[in-house]
Amino acid sequence: MTRRLVRFLDERVGVAPLLRKGLRYVFPDHWSFMVGEIALYAFMILVATGIYLTLFYVPSHEQVVYHGGYGPLQGMEMTKAYQSVLDISFNIPAGLLIRQVHHWAADVFVAAIVLHALRIFFTGAFRKPREINYWIGITMLALALPEGFLGYSLADDLLSGMGLAIAYGVFLSIPVIGGFATFLGFGGELPGAPEFFSRMLVLHVLIIPVAIGALLTVHLMTIMRQHHTQFAGPGRTERNVVGTPMWPGYLLRSLGLLFAVAAVLFLLGGLVQVNPIWEWGPYHVYSGTNGAQPDWYLGWLIGGLRLMFPFEPHIAGYTLVPNPFWGGALFPLVVFGFLYLWPFIERRWITRDHGRHELLDRPRDNPTRTAVGAAVLAWVSIIFVVGSFDRLYLRLDVPYEGQVWFWRFAVIVVPVAIFFITRAVCRELKAGGTHPLRGWSGGVVARTASGGYAVQGEPAAKGDEREVAAHAPDGGNDAGDRA
Amino acid sequence: MSGLRRALTAIGRFAAFVLLFLIGRRRRGRPGRVSDEPPPVPGPHEREVPSGRRAETLVAAMLVVCGLCGGAFVALYFAYDDTQLLGLSLGLAFAALAAALVVAGKAVIPQETYTEEREDFGDEEVREEIESLVHEGGEGLSRRGMLLAAGGVAATGLGAAVVWPVASLGPSVGDRIRKTPWRAGRYLVDAEDRRILVDDLDVGSFMLAFPEGADKELLGSSINIVRLRPQELDLPRERAGWAVEGVVAYSRICTHAGCAVSLFRYPTYERTSSAPALVCPCHYSTFDPRRACKVVFGPAGRPLPQLPLRMDAARHLLAAGGYSGPPGPAYPRVRLQ
Amino acid sequence: MRRRRLLLRGLPALLCTAGAVYGFASAPAPAQPGAGGARAAGSAQAGRRLFLQGCASCHGDDARGIPSKAPSLHGAGAAAADFYLSTGRMPLENPQDQPRKSDPVYDRAQIDDLVAYVGSLGAGPPIPEVRPARGVLSEGLRAFTDSCAGCHQVVGRGGIATSVRVPDLLSASPKTIGEAVRVGPYVMPSFGEKQIDAPTLDSIARYLRYVRHPQDRGGWGIGHIGPIPEGMVTWLLALAALVLAIRFIGERTTE
């Protein structure tokens, strides 16, 4: 059977050598290398559930009166778009399950990308020869954010409408091209031209997912070409890759992960309610609700918008840069700019290292990179958390204005402090030589001046130390004693 | 009820069993972790064929569970469309399949550690060959500069032609953003299109209102009217006549990012609480309605535009003119007042 | 059927170890104050005695208020007195604090006496009669969104108005809701009969009774406040579970 299938394919497309190579493709074993796979599988589930939802969704601004399955909205005027999402949730069997799985999958997709990116950053996996793949990954993150935003904006409930209003405000605030670009997108003033929802739908179900899919393919093919990086360890060098081959070990594990992701998403989708659009009611330009929030992956932007000073430079009565630009547009541009430029910055000013790297750094191995990364992460995280301070005030009774004023300054001070603390800790650890949590044995392999590779200063494993200590009273040479 | 509880208990026991099984396997499978010996350097290809009858049974059992849960999903779909039960059955089916595959991957099939040599990218000779191939393509060209310039002209013209249809997507901004339906003499109506009497509002109340006969969804339509005590108003001198017996009107759309300003704070006793304010619930821009909606907190950069009011003989509220400034979120070059 | 639904709702809570998420997301459910209907009027004289003991230190012996401590109660009306006292918002220990919902200090009869006394000081909004059964649910949602959701959140979970906390409305009785709408306690605006008429008020009360247990077709409601608890579930539940899974699947490091 196998032979016949292989022969059939090989005689027609000549795939046997490729297949042989693929089956023996080696994946280095470390759990953190599978975070990206979570994102990959979440994306697959997003596509599958998304196709299902597209078959029922109606992208229309047309006003209708609701007579569907949800009591409190009976007789209300709403758009067809909102009505169709209500119908998916109430009238189509299993529709709500698929919708909730789709939403949770989007949340998990972006979360997994972020975690994956952090792993890549702090282990230096973006270094030569992997810069291009790193940029592709960052680009996919940059595409995932608007993709998710468009997805929940299509529902046209109160929450999503408020989100669109803010997006309108932020786009409008961009200097020079703001008004023009916004009107091209929205087709006019908020709430947009009649064809606005179709435009969002095309972006959401076609243009951005295809772009992500294409980048994903290139991302994976590049990995196949370059192989994974690996952590230093016995037998692992810059010249080889040690681990489980694709067939059969890794394939089964990876498929197991696919279904584990599906299991988590379907259990959440069935048991934990997400974005109950029927509870928010329809959106009108003049409606609002307290405590409105975007989905988590845009929380850093609402934080930026809320934290910003009321700074709006103007000349002779004309506004130059409207305020939403700072928190809503400039802030993400700076963060993504940092992510894109980091490989250059590091090579140019920090490591001056142009060599090829297949072995990963531990975070302490490059204290400056780790410290800069931790500081930027703290900066973004603080602003992210500030976005939900209104709820914090409600729960913990810390006055809102006070919090905002405090963090307007602390958001600069804290990351700077974190930079110095992290750098000091990394240097300390590096000098100490052992892992803070467990002993690490093995050598650091470095490229020698002559171009070869050698193991440098192999630190003693914990076990070895114990052994030495136990034998010390014997007088040193235990072999001699025993003899 | 009790049946379901029994079923859940059974599932829980099963999960615990699986967990214990897996944990037990792991402990036994990796004695080296606690030993004092340094780990062996793996050879180029290590292969260990397990003999796991128990694991095989477990995998088979999981696969059967997966199939049963899948079947349960289909049955539920027809019999009882409940999101929770549907999600539970499909989720457990996936979980069982995942467990089967992982157990198979770790305890049934051969465990291999493979070492592969990395390929060196790049062959200087090939690169040079490519370079010369590219350059040879332009052999015999005498007026390279002229051709390049002409090519640039073609690219610019055609590029512009290809990109230009994008402009049809939206109207030009022009004065649209400043346009509102408010004119002198336009009546104020409530959400149900009834005209509003001054006396409909008590001191300390606020109300969503619209221009009579206009589209409610325009950014320049909706307003908040609030009634304050006439003596606490502190409007600029040129707006002295814009309030009617303490009733003032401001655009409902926040000048920061376009949300609806739907909060109004009016203290019963200001000395022990906070001052009156209109607040936007998106980013908590806070405006003082007594002082022409000056920004007192939050990120908004300019006040909410005010609508001058007057009343007719029957004490109905109507607009005495247009807004004091452009309503809605700011855009570059917007006029402040 | 109903019991089964309840069990299913509870299931994720059992499965979930992140109790903190729930604690953050869901508002506490305090005891329901008895919905007081029309009752025998209290005695203004007895009320005055109680007033002198418990309220006069801030509101003054003549109930005309003491500057920087408390406002005059002449013209405050019966509804205001009943609202503040029966929700435990008054008496207030520190006059600078925001009054909070808590257990009432006085029993029902004492409150009736105090209400009669404050009502006798001058005309104010009377205690409205609110009958949620007469209301229309969708009408309630619409009116609530237009006039109330900006502060109280569209599902009545409360919020903030920059410097003050806005209470959730999960335990408010129809009478309390009606009194708050008419009186405008603390920094809340007041809405007269002409702005929110009696049928609309009934509808709002009906809607607020509904939002205590809205139709959570999707499962565990995680607090009904939108994306914040959703993000917590994403990271603390979903991603944590998946990271545990890959730690197990991918664990074969050479150590």
Each residue's pLDDT tens digit, A322-371: 999 999 999 999 999 999 999 999 999 999 999 899 999 999 999 999 99
Q: Which residue of A has its CA nearest to C239?
A: A108
Query: Can you tell me the distance from the alpha carbon of C170 to that of C201, in angstroms, rounded to the nearest whole number?
Result: 16
Query: Can you tell me the distance from the alpha carbon of A359 to that of A445, in angstroms, rounded to the nearest whole number?
Result: 8
CA C155 to chain A, closest CA, distance in angstroms equals 7
- Residue C222 is nearest to which of A273, A296, A401, comparing CB atoms? A273
Residue C147 with chain A: CB contacts under 8 Å: none
Interface of B with C in 171-210 (CB under 8 A): 191, 197, 199-202, 204-208
Mean pLDDT of B164-174: 81
Question: What Cα–Cα distance (Å) separates residue A23 from each residue in A8, A283, A442, B128, C145?
Answer: 18, 53, 29, 34, 60
Residue A394 with chain C: CB contacts under 8 Å: 158-160, 165-166
Residues in CB range of C117: below 8 A, 6 or more apart: C42, C44, C45, C46, C47, C48, C50, C51, C81
| B3: pLDDT strictly greater than 80 | no
C255 and B5 within 8 Å at the Cβ level: the answer is no
C8 and B85 within 8 Å at the Cβ level: the answer is yes
Cα torsion angle, B145, B150, B154, B157, sign = positive
CA C178 to chain A, closest CA, distance in angstroms equals 20
How high is the pLDDT of residue A198? Answer: 94
Residue C249 with chain B: CB contacts under 8 Å: 102, 105-106
Q: Is B12 on the interface with C (CB under 8 A)?
A: no
Residues in CB range of A381: below 8 A, 6 or more apart: none
C253 and A261 within 8 Å at the Cβ level: the answer is no
How high is the pLDDT of residue A349? Answer: 92
B257 and A305 within 8 Å at the Cβ level: the answer is yes
B269 and C70 within 8 Å at the Cβ level: the answer is yes
pLDDT digits (tens, 9 = 90+) for B46-84: 788 887 788 999 999 999 999 999 999 999 999 988 999
How high is the pLDDT of residue B19? Answer: 55
Query: Can you tell me the distance from the alpha carbon of B45 to that of B41, in angstroms, rounded to the nearest whole number?
Result: 11
Mean pLDDT (chain A) is 88
Among the residue ranges A13-22, B287-296, B300-309, the one predicted with the least confidence is A13-22
Interface of C with A in 46-105 (CB under 8 A): none
A30 and C165 within 8 Å at the Cβ level: the answer is no
CA C201 to chain A, closest CA, distance in angstroms equals 16
Measure CA of the first residue to CA of the last residue in chain C; give whole Å: 54
Interface of B with C in 206-235 (CB under 8 A): 206-208, 226
Interface of C with A in 134-163 (CB under 8 A): 137-138, 140-142, 145-146, 149-155, 157-163
Q: What percent of chain C has pLDDT over 90?
A: 70
Query: What are the start-end ranges of the H helices in chain C?
Result: 2-15, 19-25, 44-54, 56-59, 78-86, 108-120, 137-147, 149-152, 174-183, 198-210, 227-232, 240-250
pLDDT digits (tens, 9 = 90+) for C8-47: 444 444 333 333 333 334 433 333 333 333 445 788 999 9
| A391: pLDDT strictly greater than 90 | no
- Residue C162 is nearest to which of B84, B271, B284, comparing CB atoms? B284
Q: Greater confidence, C28 or C118?
A: C118
Query: Can you tell me the distance from the alpha carbon of A434 to that of A414, in angstroms, rounded to the nearest whole number?
Result: 28
Confidence of residue B178 (pLDDT cuts 50, 70, 90): confident
Task: Confirm whether pTM is higher than 0.80.
Answer: yes
Residue B197 with chain C: CB contacts under 8 Å: 194
A264 and B91 within 8 Å at the Cβ level: the answer is yes
Interface of C with A in 175-234 (CB under 8 A): 207, 210, 214-222, 224-228, 230-231, 233-234
Q: Is-contact B323 B250, C-beta < 8 A?
A: no
Q: Is A184 on the interface with B (CB under 8 A)?
A: yes
Q: What percent of chain C has pLDDT over 70?
A: 82
| A96: pLDDT strictly greater than 50 | yes
For A190-272, where are the E strands, in sequence order?
Answer: 240-245
- Candidates C21, C144, C228: best to mutate against A (most CBs of A within 10 A) is C228
Q: Is B336 on the interface with C (CB under 8 A)?
A: no
Residue C186 with chain B: CB contacts under 8 Å: 267-268, 273
Residues in CB range of A245: below 8 A, 6 or more apart: A23, A24, A25, A26, A27, B112, B114
Q: Is B24 on the interface with C (CB under 8 A)?
A: no
Q: Is B277 on the interface with C (CB under 8 A)?
A: yes
Query: Can you tell me the distance from the alpha carbon of A338 to that of A346, in angstroms, rounded to the nearest whole number?
Result: 11
- Residue B109 is nearest to which of A249, A306, A317, comparing CB atoms? A249
Q: Is A48 on the interface with B (CB under 8 A)?
A: no
CA B137 to chain A, closest CA, distance in angstroms equals 28
- Residue A96 is nearest to which of B83, B219, B282, comparing CB atoms? B83
Confidence of residue A444 (pLDDT cuts 50, 70, 90): low
Q: Is-contact B248 B289, C-beta < 8 A?
A: yes
- Residue C253 is nearest to which of A30, A111, A279, comparing CB atoms? A30
Q: Is B105 on the interface with C (CB under 8 A)?
A: yes
CA B102 to chain A, closest CA, distance in angstroms equals 5
Q: Greater confidence, A458 or C113?
A: C113
| A468: pLDDT strictly greater than 50 | no
ipTM of the prediction: 0.87
CA A397 to chain B, closest CA, distance in angstroms equals 15
Reported as type and span, the H/E element at residue A302 is: helix A299-307
